Each structure stands twice: as C-alpha cells, then as structure tokens.
Amino acid sequence: SNLPLLLVGLWGLRFCVNALLRSTAAFSNRVEAVPWMVLFAAIAFTACGSAWYHSRPGDDSLLWDRLPLALVFTSVLGAAIAERIELRAGLLTLPVLFAFGEFSVLYWYSAGDLRYYVAVQTTAIVIVPLLTTLLPGSYTHARYWHVAVGLYLLSKLAELGDGLVFAGGGVLSGHTCKHLLAAAAGGVVLRMLQRRQPCG
C-alpha cells in the first residue's frame, strides 16, 4: 500500500522539475516550486520509510517514516503561506517550519513525547484550509486544496478505525486504507498543480 505513495511522490517531483525547465503556468515564479518539490520528495521518502517500518516495526524504523512525513506537513503549510499570504513570507518561514518539523520527530525519538509532532500535523491540517478559504489565491482550481485535506482527514479516520475497517470487509485494514487515501490526497495536489493557471 506504500507503492501509490511512492509513485505519487516521484511523479509529482518529476512534474515540478519539468515545470521549472519549461516555465509552465504551474509556477509564476520559479522559487514557488521549492515547497512543492520538498513535498513530493518527502512523500516518496515517507513511502520508503513506512515500508521499512512495516517490515521491521520499532522506533528506529518508525523514525525514518516520521522524519519525511513531518516535511510533508510543513512543506504544504509553507506552500499555502507563500500562495495565500506572500511569497517571500512563505519562503522565509520554510526553513523554520522544516526545522521544527524535524525537531518534533527527533524529540519524540529521544523523549518518547509526541506532543510537538502532533502539533505539526494539527497546525497544517487546521491552518491550510483556513488560509485557502479565507484568503484569495494566486491560481485557479483552489478547491483541490480542500479535497486533498478532506482525503487526508479520511485517512486519519481510517487509521483510527483500523480494526473496525478490517472487520467490516475482511480485505483491507484501516491502516492500509490510510496509505491509499493519503496517496489520493497527494494525487489531488499534483492534479491541482497540473491544471491551475494564474488568476487574472
């Protein structure tokens, strides 16, 4: 179930690189591509880390699942800030967001405390929909933001109901559905980038 995540990550990264080389409408300014490239690279690495964790469960392998996942959340938040508030502000906050995201995982690994890591996820899940709803965007197809967040929220619900989902069908566990829904969320983001045009 990590294969769709890997494919979306690699496909998205390839799209961003091609968009930069061909100067497509996906990015009015080339530096806008930075958080998106980090996002898709992190999705691909999350797939690899998650596969390793599921083959050898433990904190050491889980660390390499959560480190890139923290980059997924922080890069999405940085991209939303860059597009909805101001490009320079988004780019300046990226290193801080990335650093805090990685710190949250390392703090969990060393202290066994998930509070900061949960805060990273929660902040992205709450702030991104607020920014994309309340502030005007620079590009068309903004509704894809909301679809992607909705799919990710469904993935979290599937994870919470892991056993219940499996008992209901006996084929897929909730955790497997989480991977598939998260990959779908990444695919929606990629589709948004492929289709969008600058507003005005």
Matching residue, tokens 């599937």:
158
Task: Give pLDDT, residue 74.
Answer: 97
Dig out the tokens for 66 from the structure: 């959560």
CB 88 within 8 A of CB 100: no
Dig out the tokens for 143 from the structure: 């509704």
Q: Cα(161)–Cα(166) distance, rounded to whole angstroms?
A: 9
Walk along the chain (200 residues) and give the pLDDT tens digit of each residue: 889 999 999 999 999 999 888 877 889 888 899 999 999 999 999 999 999 998 999 999 999 999 999 999 999 999 999 999 999 999 999 999 999 999 999 999 999 999 999 999 999 999 999 999 999 888 999 899 999 999 999 998 887 876 666 556 666 777 788 889 999 999 999 999 999 998 86
Sequence-separated (6 or more) residues with CB below 8 Å from residue 165? 158, 172, 173, 174, 177
